[in-house]
C-alpha cells in the first residue's frame, strides 16, 4: 500500500486562529504531517510523490472565482498597509446569494466561513499539492491499486465550493471522489473525522452518484455548528444521498462502532463501486480538540470494519492534531484496515 505526499505541503505554517474570541496558536502545523509520514513509513507503506495535475480536478470541485481568490489574495493583502500577518476576514455576508465585492477585504469575508483558515504566502501552493496527493491516490486506485493513503495536508473536508473553513482550503476528499468518478459510476464517502465534513456535503449535496456519510460530534454544541445535523439529507436529485450521524460529545468506542456498522450497512445498500475515507484522527480521546473519546484500540476496530468493505478505496487524511499518540493512532487504523482488507 502506498502513501502519497510531498514536502511541498509543509510550507504552509499558519500562525494564528480565533476561538472563543481570542487569537491562539494554530494547531494545524506542518509537524502533523511529519509525524503521520514517519508513522506511515514505519508501518511499511511505500512513499510516492504526486504528479502535477494542474487545475483539472480542483476546478471540477471548486468555482473558478474561488480558485483565483486563493491564488492571488495574499499578494493583494500584502500590498495593503496595516494589515495582519496573515489574511483573515473581518466581515462575513449573511447569505451566499449576496453581491460579490471587488475589494480584497470584501472577498476575504465572502470566501471564509470563519476565522480558522488564515492565508499566508505559501498557503495556495501547499493546498494545491495537498489536493494533488488526493488526486494521485485516486488515480492509482483507478489504475488497479486496491487501496491508497493520501497524506493530504492542509486538510480539506470543511472547504466548500467557494469558501475556506476549519483549517481547510481545497476539498481533498471531494477531489478524490470526483477523480474516481472518471472510472466508477457510484462512489461512497465515509467521513470519520470528529467534525462534520460540511465542505464535502456542500459540494455533493445535489448529486445522486456520490453518497456522503459523516459520523461526527453533534454540531448542536460542536464545530461546524450550522451543518452536520441529521435532517440534512441532500437536495433535489441528491435527496436521500447525504447521511449525517451526529454523536454525543464524549462518545466512546462501543457506541461509535455501533454507529459505524449502521453507516456501513447504508453504504452497502447504496452499492458503490469505490469508497473514499475521510480519515480524521481527531476523534481520539486525548486529541486537543476534544470531541469524541475513541481509544487507540478503537481506531484499529474502525479500520477493521472499513477494511471488510471490499471496494477500491482512497483514504484521505483530514484532522488529527498533536498528541503523543497521533502517529500510533494512524498505525492502529492502518493495522485494522489491512487485516480487514487482507492486503
pLDDT in tens, 262-290: 999 999 999 999 999 999 999 999 999 98
Distances (CA, A) of 165 to 21, 118, 172, 298: 16, 9, 13, 28
Q: Return mean pLDDT, the chain.
A: 97
| Domain limits, the chain | 2-62+121-341
pLDDT in tens, 7-35: 999 999 999 999 889 999 999 999 999 99
The catalytic residue among 62, 158, 195, 196 is: 158
Is the pLDDT at 343 greater than 80, yes or no?
no
What is the band of 82 on the pLDDT scale with cuts at 50, 70, 90? confident
Provide the pLDDT for residue 221.
96
CA 247 to CA 243: how far, in whole Å? Answer: 13
Cell of 117: 483558515
pLDDT in tens, 116-162: 999 999 999 999 999 999 999 999 999 999 999 999 999 999 999 99
Provide the pLDDT for residue 20.
87
CATH fold of the domain at 2-62+121-341:
3.40.800
Task: Please say if 5 is a catalytic residue.
Answer: no
pLDDT in tens, 201-239: 999 999 999 999 999 999 999 999 999 999 999 999 999
Provide the pLDDT for residue 83.
82
| Category of 228 on φ-ψ map: left (φ > 0), alpha (ψ -120 to 50) or beta | left
pTM score of the predicted model: 0.97
Distances (CA, A) of 118 to 125, 129, 147, 165, 234: 14, 18, 33, 9, 30
Identify the three-state secondary structure at position 280: coil
Name the more confident of 81 and 192.
Answer: 192
Provide the pLDDT for residue 29.
97
Q: Summarize the confidence of residues 163-178 as an average pLDDT.
A: 98
Q: Summarize the confidence of residues 324-341 as an average pLDDT.
A: 97
Amino acid at each position: 500500500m502506498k502513501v502519497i505526499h510531498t514536502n511541498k505541503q509543509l510550507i504552509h505554517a499558519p500562525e494564528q486562529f480565533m476561538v472563543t474570541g481570542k487569537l491562539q496558536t494554530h494547531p494545524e502545523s506542518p509537524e502533523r504531517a511529519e509525524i503521520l509520514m514517519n508513522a506511515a513509513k514505519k508501518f511499511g507503506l511505500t512513499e510516492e510523490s504526486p504528479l502535477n495535475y494542474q487545475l483539472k480536478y480542483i476546478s471540477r470541485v471548486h468555482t473558478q472565482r474561488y480558485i483565483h481568490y486563493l491564488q492571488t489574495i495574499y499578494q493583494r493583502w500584502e500590498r495593503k498597509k496595516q494589515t495582519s500577518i496573515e489574511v483573515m476576514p473581518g466581515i462575513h455576508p449573511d447569505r451566499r446569494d449576496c453581491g460579490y465585492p471587488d475589494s480584497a477585504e470584501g472577498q476575504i469575508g465572502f470566501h471564509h466561513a470563519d476565522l480558522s483558515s488564515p492565508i499566508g504566502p505559501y498557503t495556495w501552493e501547499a493546498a494545491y499539492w495537498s489536493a494533488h496527493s488526493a488526486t494521485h491516490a485516486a488515480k492509482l486506485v483507478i489504475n488497479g491499486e486496491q487501496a491508497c493513503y493520501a497524506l493530504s495536508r492542509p486538510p480539506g473536508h470543511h472547504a466548500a465550493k467557494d469558501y475556506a473553513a476549519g483549517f481547510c482550503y481545497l476539498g481533498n476528499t471531494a477531489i478524490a471522489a470526483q477523480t474516481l468518478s472518471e472510472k466508477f459510476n457510484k462512489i461512497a464517502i465515509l467521513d470519520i473525522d470528529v467534525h462534520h465534513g460540511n465542505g464535502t456535503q456542500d459540494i455533493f449535496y445535489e448529486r445522486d452518484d456520490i453518497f456522503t456519510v459523516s459520523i461526527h460530534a453533534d454540531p448542536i454544541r460542536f464545530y461546524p455548528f450550522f451543518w452536520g445535523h441529521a435532517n440534512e439529507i441532500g437536495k433535489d436529485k441528491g435527496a436521500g444521498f447525504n447521511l449525517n450521524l451526529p454523536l454525543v460529545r464524549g462518545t466512546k468506542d462501543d457506541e461509535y462502532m455501533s454507529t459505524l456498522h449502521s453507516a456501513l450497512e447504508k453504504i452497502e445498500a447504496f452499492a458503490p463501486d469505490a469508497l473514499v475515507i475521510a480519515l480524521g484522527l481527531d476523534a481520539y480521546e486525548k486529541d486537543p480538540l476534544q470531541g469524541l473519546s475513541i481509544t487507540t484500540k478503537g481506531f484499529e476496530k474502525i479500520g477493521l470494519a472499513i477494511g471488510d468493505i471490499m471496494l477500491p478505496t482512497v483514504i484521505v487524511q483530514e484532522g488529527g492534531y498533536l498528541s503523543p499518540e497521533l502517529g500510533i493512532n494512524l498505525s492502529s487504523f492502518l493495522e485494522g484496515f489491512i487485516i480487514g482488507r487482507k492486503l
